[in-house]
Structure 1
Amino acid sequence: MDKASKTVSIIREFDADLHLVWDAFTKKEILDQWWAPKPFQSKTLAMDFKVGGRRFYAMINQEGEEIGWQIQDYTSINPKTNFKFFNAFADKDQNPDLPGSNWDLSFSERNGLTKVCITIYNDSLERMERMIEMGFKEGFTATLNGLELLLLQLKK
C-alpha cells in the first residue's frame, strides 16, 4: 500500500491454468464462491462482463443478510490478459458512494502457474484509508486464499 500515490498493489500466483483463473475473476457463478473473506459471502445481483457493463453485488453476513453493496463498472477488457473496472461502495439501488477506485487486473501464465497482478488506484487518500481501516489487506488476502483452495477443487 502506497499512501503517496493512493495505490494498492497485489501480486499472486495460482497453481492453475490461465483460462481457469480468468474464469474465476469474470464469471459470476465462480466469483460468488470466493469473492469475500469467510465467513462472509458475495452474492452477484447483476453482472454483464463487457466494456460498459457492470457487476452489482452484495456482501452477505452469517445470518444471510445483505450488509453492503458494491458496483464494478467495466472500463476495459482484453480477454485472458487484462481487465479494468471502476469500483465503488453503493446502496441497494446501485447508487455509488463516491469516491471510488480504479482496478487494473493483469493475467499471465508460465509453466502452469498463473500470475495475477492487481493495481488499485484510489480516487482519494480518504478512500484508501477507509479500505485500510476496514481490514482490506487481511480480508483480501483471506479472499485470495479462498480462491486458491477453490482453484484446486476446480482443477480436479
Structure 2
Amino acid sequence: MWDAFTKKEILDQWWAPRPAISRTKFMDFKVGGRRFFAMVMPDGQERWMVQRYTSISPITNFKMTAAFADKDENVELLSSEWDFNFSEEDGITEVVIVIYNESLERMERMIELGFGEAMAVMYGNLDDLLAGQ
C-alpha cells in the first residue's frame, strides 16, 4: 500500500478521477522533494498540481503540501497540508489521511471543484488496481 502512494508509476495508474488520467512530469519522494503532475482529461485539457514532501517516516507516515499550479509549476491557489498514516494489522493495511487547508477560501474552492467526489472516484481506482494484482 505504501508504494501505491509513493511511487509515480503506481500513482499514475489511480491518482486522478476518471475519465482523467494522472501523468507525472517528475517526482522525487524525499523530504524537500516534490511531485509535479497533471490530471489530463480525454480532450487533452491539463490540471497541474505540485506536491511537496515535508516529512517521511518510511512505511508509516508521510506529509506533504499540495497546490494547483500552471504548466510551469507556478502555484495558483493556496496550498493544503496532507498527513498520510499507514498501519497494518492481521495483513490489512489502513490508510488515514488528514487534510488541513490554510484558509476557508481554499476549502470552499476545493468543495466547488468537487474534491470529495473526485477523491471517492480516485480511491475506487485504487481499489480496482489492487483487486487486479
Q: How far apart in 1 are the matches of 2:40 and 2:22?
A: 6
Query: Which residue, 111, 125, 128 being the options, matches 1:146?
Result: 125
The yes-or-no answer on 1:98 pairing with 2:61 is: no
Q: Normalised by the size of structure 1, how large is the TM-score?
A: 0.83
Unpaired segments of 5 or more residues in structure 2? none
What is the number of equivalent residue pairs in this alignment? 133
Map 1:4-153; keep pairs closer than 5 Å. Answer: 21-63=1-43, 65-153=44-132
Letter of the 2:37 counterpart: Y
Q: Distance in 1 between matches of 2:23 and 2:62?
A: 21
Residue 107 of structure 1 contacts residue 117 of structure 1 at CA under 8 Å; is this kept in 2?
A: yes
Cα distance, 1:138 vs. partner? Answer: 1.0
The TM-score, its normalising length taken from structure 2, stands at 0.97
Q: Percent identity?
A: 59
Instruction: Say which structure, 1 or 2, has more relative contact order (CA 8 Å, 6+ apart).
Output: 1
CA RMSD for the aligned pairs?
0.9
- The CA distance in 2 between the partners of 1:23 and 1:119, in whole Å, is 19
Structure 1: gaps of 5 or more residues: 1-20
Residues 82, 106 of structure 1: 8 Å contact kept = yes
Cα offset, 1:66, TM superposition: 4.1
Code of the residue aligned with 2:48 in structure 1: it is: W
